[in-house]
Amino acid sequence: MYRKKIFVFLAVVMLLSLILTACEPETIIETVVETVIETVEVEGETVEVIVEREVEVLKDKDILIYNSYASDPAPREADEEIVQMFMDKYPQYDVIHSTINHEDFKQAIRAYLTASAPPDVMTWFAGERARFFIDNGQIMDISDVWEGEGWVEDYPTGFKALSSVDGNQYFLPTSWYWWAVYYRVSVFEELGLEPPTTWDEFIEVCDTLKENGKIPITIGTKYRWTTGAWFDYLNMRINGPEFHIDLMLGKESYEDERVLAVFDAWRDLLENDYFIEDAAAYTWSEALEPFITGEAGMYLMGDFIRDSLPPEVTDDLDFFRFPIMDPAVPIGEDAPTDGYFIAANSQNPEAAKAFLAYLGSVEVQTYNAEKLGRLPTHTGVDRSMFNAAQQKGLALIDGADYVAQFYDRDTRPEVADMGMNVFMEFWDDPGNTARLAEMLAELDAYRMEVFGAE
């Protein structure tokens, strides 16, 4: 009798097991293609190559492939957390996330975008770095995301312009830093100077500093890129940001009289000895020394300048907008900006748009501001968390009509390289107008070659 009961019990257990198994949903696996960088051995040398590999995923998930250059420890950790936050909030999505070394990513992106199965979403830089791929038809139009998420109203005008081509949006800008003219507050107070807002006031400040034995403007041009800031701002203030960007995009000529006007204004500064002597002997950071000691009054630089200054100087630091030269000209500002885009050939554009909408949200930009100190593009982020300098930087960009990137980010790298050579030679001999004309003619011929301009 006891054995019979055991058999009956086992039979019931087996029957229940069969019923439960039959009721469980079948786990279906499918394969998707991921494009990544792999290290391989070729003829005894280690090289990195772009490969497409198959990845198994659950079929009941909406698959999204995201490749990022956030390879430094803190940004990488934040990036991984954001991906997890997105999947927790939207469990219908499964993000296949790959992080690639920042410099390697710059080389790999062309291969990604020509692959048969490109990553859906990628990190990248605004300006010409993005425009190049937009013009090639390799970045998706996301105007519907901008409109649907309210970014047209919630993002400053300058960032919208930066993300647009022919009135449509292709890029999502999410973090940035500003450029401005930094000055030593104590030096200005000692000489009774106020931060200038107009060009005439700026020249008066330079003259006063010079008359009192100070270097009006310090700069290090040993690495040429610092000269690009002076060309950017003089061109935007004299001719407007639209002309400047069109020049960067190869649509205008370097021999145009408007460009010559930029060099005329620059020449006045150089010939009046407003800059530190022998600027080419210093890197940008070495040129900080007279600024630190109070021998120099001003420095046109990005906000990363703070990272290289001792605390006592940082406490004595302030900045002002590059002075207005013509009130009728729209205001352009340099603010190198990072963000995201969707590949035109995305395998899952709807999931990609959902992810992009999340990345551009107040939630994510607040997270990045708190965790990484990143300045947000979304005006809905609570600004009370930022210090006084950051608040001022935000206001600077809020008041801009156009946000440019920087000379070597806004034009093709090969044109920027030649252009900065022109700036350096001009700096050494600003009065040689014949040589300047020759250099600009050579630069313009190269501009037409590179951009295929008429």
Q: Which residue has the tokens 């901008």?
A: 146
Q: Does residue 242 form part of some domain?
A: yes
Residues whose CB falls within 8 Å of the CB of residue 105, separated by 6 or more in sequence, listed in order: 67, 68, 69, 71, 123
Short-list 346, 352, 344, CA closest to 138:
344
Pair 385, 424 in one domain: no
List, in order, residues 6 or more apart from 6 with CB less than 8 Å away: none
Q: Give the CATH number of the domain where residue 319 resides.
A: 3.40.190.10
In a domain, 249, yes or no: yes
Report the sign of the C-alpha dihedral through residues 180, 186, 187, 193, in that order.
positive
- Write out the residue range of the structural domain in which residue 270 sits: 179-334+412-451
The pTM score is 0.76
319 and 446 fall within a common domain = yes
The two three-digit tokens of residue 365, written as one number: 């930009």
Q: Are residues 317 and 349 in the same domain?
A: no
In a domain, 424, yes or no: yes
Do residues 219 and 314 both lie within one domain?
yes
Q: Do 232 and 405 touch, CB atoms closer than 8 A?
A: no
Residue 175, Cβ neighbours under 10 Å: how many? 18
Which of 346, 366, 393 lies at the terminal end of a domain, its last residue?
A: 393
Whether 407 is covered by a domain: the verdict is no
Verify that 222 and 308 share a domain, yes or no.
yes
Residue 336 token pair: 């190198």
Shared domain check, 328 and 343: no
Residue ranges in the chain modelled with pLDDT below 50 = 2-28, 40, 42, 46-47, 57, 454
Residues 317, 380 share a domain: no
The CA radius of gyration of the chain, in Å to the nearest whole number, is: 27
CA-CA distance, 294 to 214, in Å (whole number)? 8
Give the model's pLDDT for residue 52: 58
Give the Cα separation of 3 and 323 in Å (integer).
98
Question: pLDDT per residue over 321-348, tens digit each?
Answer: 999 999 999 999 999 999 999 999 999 9
Note whether 285 and 430 are same-domain residues: yes
Indicate whether 342 and 329 sit together in one domain: no
| 31 domain-assigned | no
pLDDT at 82: 97
In a domain, 44, yes or no: no
User: Which token pair is 66?
Assistant: 């995201």
Question: Do 270 and 348 fall within a single domain?
Answer: no
HEC-encoded secondary structure of the chain: CHHHHHHHHHHHHHHHHHHHHHHCCCCCEEEEEEEEEEEEEECCEEEEEEEEEEEEEECCCEEEEEEECCCCHHHHHHHHHHHHHHHHHCCCEEEEEEECCHHHHHHHHHHHHHCCCCCCEEEEECCHHHHHHHHCCCECCCHHHHHHCCHHHHCCHHHHHHCEECCEECCEEEEECCEEEEEEHHHHHHCCCCCCCEHHHHHHHHHHHHHCCCEEECCCCCCCHHHHHHHHHHHHHHHCHHHHHHHHCCCCCCCCHHHHHHHHHHHHHHHCCCECCCHHHCCCCHHHHHHHHCCEEEEEEEHHHHHHCCHHHHCCEEEECCCECCCCCCCEEECCEEEEEEECCCCCHHHHHHHHHHHCCHHHHHHHHHHHCCEECCCCCCHHHCCHHHHHHHHHHHCCCEEECCHHHHCCHHHHHHHHHHHHHHHHCCCCHHHHHHHHHHHHHHHHHHHCCC
Q: Does any domain span residue 170?
A: yes
Sheet holding 337-342, edge to edge: 93-99, 62-68, 121-125, 337-342, 172-176, 375-376
Is the distance from CB of 402 to CB of 334 less than 8 angstroms?
A: no
CB 184 within 8 A of CB 317: yes
Token duo for residue 220: 């290090």
The CA-based dihedral angle spanning residues 330, 334, 338, 339, taken in that order and rounded to the nearest 10 degrees: 0
Q: Please check whether residues 277 and 215 belong to one and the same domain.
A: yes
pLDDT score, position 18: 44
Whether residue 330 is found in the same domain as residue 345 = no
Taking only the tens place, the pLDDT of each residue in 47-75 is 455 555 555 545 568 999 999 999 888 88
Q: Total domain count for the chain?
A: 2
Examine residue 403 and state whether it is found in any structural domain, yes or no: no
pLDDT of residue 34: 55
